Homo-oligomer: A and B are copies of this chain.
Amino acid sequence: MSQIPRRPRMPTLEDVARQAGVSRATVSRVVNGTRNVDPEIQKVVQEAVAVTGYVPNRAARTLVTRRTDAVALVFSVPDRPEDDPFLGRVFGDPFFGRILGGLLTVLRPRGVHPVLMLADSQRAREELAGSLRQEHIDGVAVVSITPDDPLPELLGRAQVPAVLFGRPAAAEVPVSFVDISQQAGARQAADHLVALGRTRVATIAGPQDSPAGRDRLRGFREAMAGHGQRDVPCVAGDFTQVGGEKAMRELLAAEPGCDAVFAANDLMAQGALHVLREAGRRVPEDVAVVGFDDSSAALAARPLLTTVRQPIEDMAAEMAELLLLSLNDPDQPTRSVIFRTTLVRRQSA
């Protein structure tokens, strides 16, 4: 342990107490607002605090309260070699930032700080567990983009205050989460395309090893079946733009007459848009396109992408609320909150 570059010594409770002519305990009470303190004395103490420039030392406080007022925001991604520069790509996704923004709206006013962590290897997961046991953080918000992620179950078992973004793959894991109704969202896309009079509808699905990918496809198919279209041509992509391009090309080859496409996320929809343009199809006149997420890609696309909006920020905020709840009372039952999606109508459909 390398030793401390000593910064000038900070004033302590003791200093303030001396300055104010009261005991340490009293100062503590004033600072924390616990118990009643004579207003007269309160004023004296507050002045002493101002004079000395006192700020409570967090570590000392944590040592006794066993609260850190920090939570981890964990991104759980598929394992990869330690030196793979892929790291940047993970966080390059704006999705990530939106979650952070949503969390912050709740955490900040409560004085809780988010610490960023990445669970991308067995070792990283162990370190995360270590962080919790070290009492470095009070709880965990997990965003998992890994199929069959072992993390949720790990946390659930460990009885650690944790909340997931998106339901866990294994339904019986005892952990709180926020999610959207994927199927209802897909249904909105289907209904919209049908209302537009489209009759030869196809879909670019997400990876079928992800719950979101599966559920969106299922929801879309069921809805289309309800509208009388039993066989929806489908090619699965990988949630990336190039994946969407590839899928769209295949779809176009297999179903040249299709007049509408539902892509399981905006990035793939954007890819589809590019391919359709190359192929000389007009959007939305010849082919209507609907995406999913309402990410920044939807606004960057031309024509502007009609898409199923996922209220990410609200979901993240709720995630924070749930987390704080179980922080303050570990015996809270696990809860889940399912958000409603909305169809955002723009130009592409």
Chain A residues near B (Cβ < 8 Å): 1-7, 10, 32, 34, 53, 55-63, 65-68, 70, 73, 85, 87-94, 96-98, 100-102, 104-105, 108, 113-118, 130-131, 133-136, 159, 241, 270, 274, 277, 296-297, 299-300, 302, 312-313, 327-331
Contacts and interface: CB of A to CB of B under 8 A. Distances in A.
A296 B97 contact: no
A100 B285 CA distance: 42
A46 to B, nearest CB: 16
Given A58-B134, A134-B57, A34 B93 contact: no
- Of all A-B residue pairs in the complex, the 10 with the closest CB atoms, nearest first, are A91-B97, A88-B101, A59-B62, A87-B101, A59-B63, A55-B133, A58-B134, A5-B330, A58-B136, A4-B66
A135 B101 contact: no
Contacts of A113: 115-117, 131, 136
Q: Which of A6, A7, A70, A105 has most chain B Cβ within 10 Å? A: A7
Given A5-B331, A88-B101, 12 more contacts: A4-B65, A6-B66, A7-B330, A57-B134, A59-B62, A59-B68, A70-B115, A87-B102, A87-B313, A90-B97, A92-B97, A270-B300
Given A1-B32, A58-B135, A302 B274 contact: yes
Contacts of A296: 92
B97 A116 contact: no
